[in-house]
Amino acid sequence: MAAGRATNAAEPGAAQDAGHAVEHVALTLADQLPMLLILVPLVAAPLIVLLGSRRLAWPLAYGAATASFVMAVFLLMRVIGGEVISYHIGGWAPPLGIEYRVDSANAFVLFLVTGIATVVLPYARTSVAAEVDGQHGTLFYAMFLLCFTGLLGVVITGDAFNVFVFLEISSLSTYVLIAAGAVRDRRALTAAYDYLIMGTIGATFFVIGLGLLYMATGTLNMADIAERIADQTGNRTVRAAFAFIVVGVGLKAAIYPLHLWLPNAYTYAPSAVTAFLAATATKVAIYVLMRFMFSVFQPLYLVEVKTLEFIIIPLALLAMFAASVIAIFQTDLKRLLAYSSLAQIGYMLLGIGFLSETGLTAAIAHLFNHGITKAALFMGVGALVLRFGNSYCDGVAGAGRTMPWTSAAMVIGGLSLIGVPGTAGFISKWVLVQGALEAGWWPVAMLIVLSSLLAVVYVWRMIETLYLQPAPERAAAGEAPLSMLVPMWLMALACIWFGLNTELTLGASLSAAKGFMAGSPGLILAGH
């Protein structure tokens, strides 16, 4: 029988403790939520294939996603105050057994992933029917749930090797989901193949890093690894492991210049897949990077090896500007938004690079805010694809006159992408600027503002295409169906809501940042 346990991180020494709390047998349903969160979609995926019914495929997928979302909300409510839930698989206590560990950081990411899946699936019902071969519709939803399960598992597990296992579950299913776009454009096959090659290289680097860590510590439990390498900062095996893990996860997160798979994957995948992946996949990879940097290797180690100062921050600044400039010259709205995602990943990395509570708060908040923003934007582009048959600027020109609701939602998403006050994007960028000023890096603060002005250029290009350019001879049949508009507007309104009400986003982000930074007592931080 599985056992669960919880410890309150607010108690003295709890942040540094590996989680040695009073154990209790999990008898209630609430105690089993960490396992059920993964188990429900994992069981639903093969069940869809076994039943083989097109009519039941979507309801089962949506029911599993909704159930996981409800469980993620309960978990977030429980740990947002600083409590840490440690769930033992099969009753074997860590570090011998596999552990699921929930704190405010990964509970917030679980909330994002499950929420996006719950919103994207109603949208996908119409979009997938138009863009994916009808014979493969059942398998599509099974692959979607496997990808969803993998992302959840990566986030919730406290076992380093389990991160690799779940990462591969999500990646393998993602390759299939991207290739499903070949019905509309055969280039989806090439995009999936490129991602497979790059993803495999990333996974290989990551698992080599885990092997080196196991060689140095003899354990795979992340909390246990952190304890054992605390006094091994000069160990070359540990340093090599750190380098392999950063590069491996960097490929999955599409850190510039390890991003070559992302533009084509987002451009040629089915619209529903692009909306889901853009809002979740790279965000989960950024979370994994933060988890290993701050919970396993810990902040003091990052100071020792100078990784943030000489690698992460320069690459973040390069992404913010290079990707934004490339986005300006794109003629396909999907590709434009794909390069925009690379620039936004740069903001998250920059927050990590500040090595402060404020910087990490900005990074985690932007992870969430960019997720809901990109979901709204890619859903809008998917609606244009449904009506116009493509996402090229020339092909969808004047869509604002025939698809006013879709275009308005895209404008709101674009404003959030820029960081206009009153939108979610503004909040995280504002905190990021505060983090730069706290560290005394006013030139970096100026660069954040300047890169946001580049976002104005490509967002304006999108608005100009929708509203100011003449419509092509073959005009759209009309507005997108309600099943696509409602999810799209939920995300657009979320961009406004979380721009005005920051209690959840900043509260959870600050709690997560404090948890990450607690790994190195006595470290002198910028602005503290």
Edge to edge, the sheet with strand 23-25 lists 23-25, 3-8, 83-88, 99-102
* Phi, psi (degrees; rounded to nearest 5) at 475: -75, 165
Query: 417: which 2 tokens?
Result: 């992408």
Query: 377: which 2 tokens?
Result: 């934007």
Strand pairing class (99-102; 83-88):
antiparallel
CB 369 within 8 A of CB 424: yes
Q: Count of residues for the chain?
A: 528
Picking from 129, 257, 248, 273, the residue whose alpha carbon sits closest to that of residue 265 is 273
If DSSP codes are grouped into helix, strand and coil, which group holds residue 255?
A: coil
Dihedral sign, CA of 470, 474, 477, 480?
negative
CA distance 219 to 215: 8
Place of tokens 């969808």: 396
Place of tokens 């709101």: 412
Question: Which residues neighbour 221 within 8 Å (Cβ) at sequence distance 6 or greater?
Answer: 18, 94, 95, 99, 158, 159, 160
Question: Which residues neighbour 19 within 8 Å (Cβ) at sequence distance 6 or greater?
Answer: 5, 7, 84, 86, 94, 99, 101, 223
Query: 69: which 2 tokens?
Result: 């979302």
Residue 474's pLDDT is: 60
Question: Which residues neighbour 276 within 8 Å (Cβ) at sequence distance 6 or greater?
Answer: 116, 117, 120, 124, 144, 147, 375
DSSP assignment of 142-211: HHHHHHHHHHHHHHHB-BHHHHHHHHHHHHHHHHHHHHGGGGT-THHHHHHHHHHHHHHHHHHHHHHHHH
Q: Which helix (H) or strand (E) holds 8?
A: strand 3-8
CA distance 327 to 233: 40
CA distance 126 to 427: 33
CB 405 within 8 A of CB 442: no
DSSP assignment of 424-454: HHHHHHHHHHHHHHHTT-HHHHHHHHHHHHH
CB atoms inside a 10 Å sphere around CB 487: 26
- DSSP letter assigned to residue 23: E
Domain ranges of the chain: 318-528
Residue 520's pLDDT is: 38
Beta strands in 26-164 (DSSP E): 83-88, 99-102
CA distance 229 to 210: 13
Picking from 166, 111, 129, the residue whose alpha carbon sits closest to that of residue 280 is 111
Q: Which helix (H) or strand (E) holds 411?
A: helix 404-418
Picking from 277, 272, 263, the residue whose alpha carbon sits closest to that of residue 131 is 272
**Run means of pLDDT, 10 residues per run, the chain, 528 residues:** 42 37 53 90 93 86 95 92 83 81 92 96 90 79 95 94 94 93 85 93 95 91 88 82 92 89 92 94 94 84 72 91 94 94 94 90 94 95 91 88 92 94 93 91 92 93 90 70 94 95 91 78 31
- Residue 392 gets the label, from left (phi > 0), alpha (psi -120 to 50) or beta, of beta
Half-sphere exposure of 5 (CA within 13 A, CB side): 19
Cα–Cα separations (whole angstroms), residue 463 to 23, 45, 322, 342, 401: 56, 39, 22, 20, 12
